Structure 1
Amino acid sequence: MNHDIIIDVRNATVRFNKASENISGLKEYVIKMLKRELMFQEFLALQDVTFQVKRGESWGLIGKNGSGKSTLLKLICGILKPYKGTVKVAGSISPLIELGAGFDPELTARENIYLNGAILGHSRKFIEEHFSSIVEFAELQDFLDTPIKNFSSGMAARLGFSIATIAKPDILIVDEVLAVGDFAFQEKCKKRMEELLHGGTTLLFVSHSIEQVRALCQKAIWIEKGKIKGIGEIDIISNQYMQSMQ
């Protein structure tokens, strides 16, 4: 793998099996499975996807809901494995893929900072040293001992983003998480992402806001029905995508 290449995806295909009939409960599922009466329909969430990302680049993933953007990010993070093809990643990843991922809703914000930090590979000492910075950025000083289940989606997003970006990751992955925050916090997150980019972090960014993608990203991948429809410079690909929507 070329040292300049931090993400190398080659002919990646992701396959899911969908039940071809409605099954009302676990009992019926087990009975049908034992009788070998379960019928599945193959669904290709991604098909023959190939691209490379260099260190320090910023890429936007654009496309309609259900096009395969989040599936591709999960493939890069290692959450999913390709049915066919290969995915190689050379560096540490801080993923912000699903709101609340890595949080225990029953635990307080204070406890979840340590839990989420550990999931991201940080030591307890590291979290203790950066605890005040995490809380200050998330603007949650008055809610540290409140269970996460009582947080609004915006509060949870602020905390998740703050923990994920407290250390400079090699790769930062952000999937629609900023859509739930208020404008002021979105601008704050954008500024931090720009600082990380200037420091050499690679960014993969998903947003339905083409303006946000254009502001942060150099290049774009347009995905439609699991296939790459376009790939290249952000202005060219985003314009092609917007024209297709019209």
Structure 2
Amino acid sequence: MPFEGRFTACISSQAGCAMNCKFCATGQMGFRRNLTSDEIFEQVVVFQRILSPDYRISNVVFMGMGEPFANYKNVMKACAKITSALNIGQRHITISTVGIVPKILRFAQEKFQYKLAISLHNPFTEERKQIVPITKKYSVEDLFEACYSYCRQTNRRITFEYCLIPGINDHEEHARKLASLLTPIKLLYHINLIALNATPKFKVNSKDVDVSVKKFTAFLNKFYVNNVTVRSKRGIDIAAGCGQLGAD
């Protein structure tokens, strides 16, 4: 019987997270430990078991708990198991990072077919430091130099994730700066705009966020940044939306 439905599994690479991104509930939990490759792989196996026989996991994204490139070795071992044991191709696996530059460069050199996503959220170094602390170690300029190198070596597209925070990162100058940073990689990018979800420690008004999404999309179009998608909202009612995954 052909599969009637395909699903994407969003999986974790760590217990907790040490990145401490200010708008992310997971980032506020603190770091416990890296997951083993078997623990990472088992998440996909469990998700597949939950589904009925007519459905299958067709895509995997490392966008759950933790920073995948801070657990690089185990993540790569898990990816190898996912492709070999579960018949999920490398191009159907996406790994998201806040921007650990040395690991992006290593990832490019190893020439995997896995997709790369960057959690950017602000194109200005000093502003990004306030919400994504790893920027204190790797500036936005350093991050994009690594991205340019990745594109040159692999000729593969990068997805840039951008959570809209009203009044913080949604102005016209942010769109202009982002457009200039993307110019060297021409069409090898995709912007994933995310309507930020409120968390216990980071309050936002959902209506204000929706306005920010529409406004920022228009700004990007003004500067000819057209490869843009607005991520649909899911799981908000059970605090399982983007940035809300956390536990007491």
Structure-1-length-normalised TM-score:
0.33
By relative contact order (CA 8 Å, sep 6+), the higher-ranking structure is 1
TM-score normalised over the length of structure 2: 0.33
